Amino acid sequence: MINQPFNQLCTTKYGLMLVNKNDRYIGKSLILYGEINEAENIFYKQVCPKGANVIEVGSNIGVHSLAISRFISPNGQLFCFEPQRVVYQTLNANLALNSITNTFTYNKAVGDEAKEINIPKIDYTKEGNFGGFSIVNDAKGEKIPQIVLDEFMDLEHLELLKIDVEGMEEDVIRGALSLIDTHKPIIYCENDRQDRSQSLIELLWSLEYKCYWHLPALFSEENFNSVKENIFKNLVSVNMFCVHKESEINVTGFIEVDDSSYHPMKR
């Protein structure tokens, strides 16, 4: 089946990228600005030394994957998980376009239980927020495997665990308790679902992690394409930067999470 074309090739800060022009945030930003959430990539550059191993759960089309793969090269390894088949295909296209060889990709969901789940079918020819897709077990969807990181990954070291799974962050962490306990990586996770925020924070505290809010803006005035118009206004990503209490990292410039009931988007 041949759909109406929706992919567009564009030049970005980290190389050529195939993007869905109907994507409300990622696609539009990459086409217009040549980047999105660059403040996140600046953060990853600070915490991902050359030779680091990184797990990225919820890679989408590789906006941050392309950057991280460069930061940790030549000997570091990046492991990307993306459950949406079409988005996963685009992720692989972007890695291939940029001759990236230190990254391993998996068309799998990640959770606290190994099983098969059904991913709802999405019409990529219509405008949507494809990066904001939540996994819902849909009987009419496409079957994909869901894995547990503790059972799937066997690494000598792990420096960063990055999680962006639209409200399912806690499940990913519960399926990686052994991995986290062994390596005590930095955990960088999205926390924009207010109804799930408190339990996520308290889970990380129980694992002896200190958490800090990180709210990078989607738009940067000094973007790659030097476009001054801000189509995103004051939109930010709501994330947490989490460091194990045994870590020697000196954290400055971040607001520590000291109240699990507080959320920066709460009115």
Tens-digit pLDDT profile for residues 97-155: 999 999 999 999 999 999 999 988 888 989 888 776 666 666 678 999 999 999 999 99
CATH code, residues 38-256: 3.40.50.150
DSSP state of 128: B
Please state the separation of Cα 236 from the chain's center in Å: 14
Residue 267 has pLDDT above 90, yes or no: no
Helices (H) and strands (E) in the chain, counts: 8, 13
Q: What is the dihedral of CA 13, 29, 192, 84, to 10 degrees?
A: -90
Residue 74 preceded by cis peptide, ω within 30: yes
Residue 1 has pLDDT above 60, yes or no: no
| Tens-digit pLDDT profile for residues 25-48 | 999 999 999 999 999 999 999 999
In this structure, what token pair is assigned to residue 90? 């685009």
Distances (CA, A) of 44 to 36, 41, 67: 14, 5, 8
Residue partners of 56: CB distance under 8 A and separation at least 6? 64, 65, 68, 78, 79, 80, 81, 162
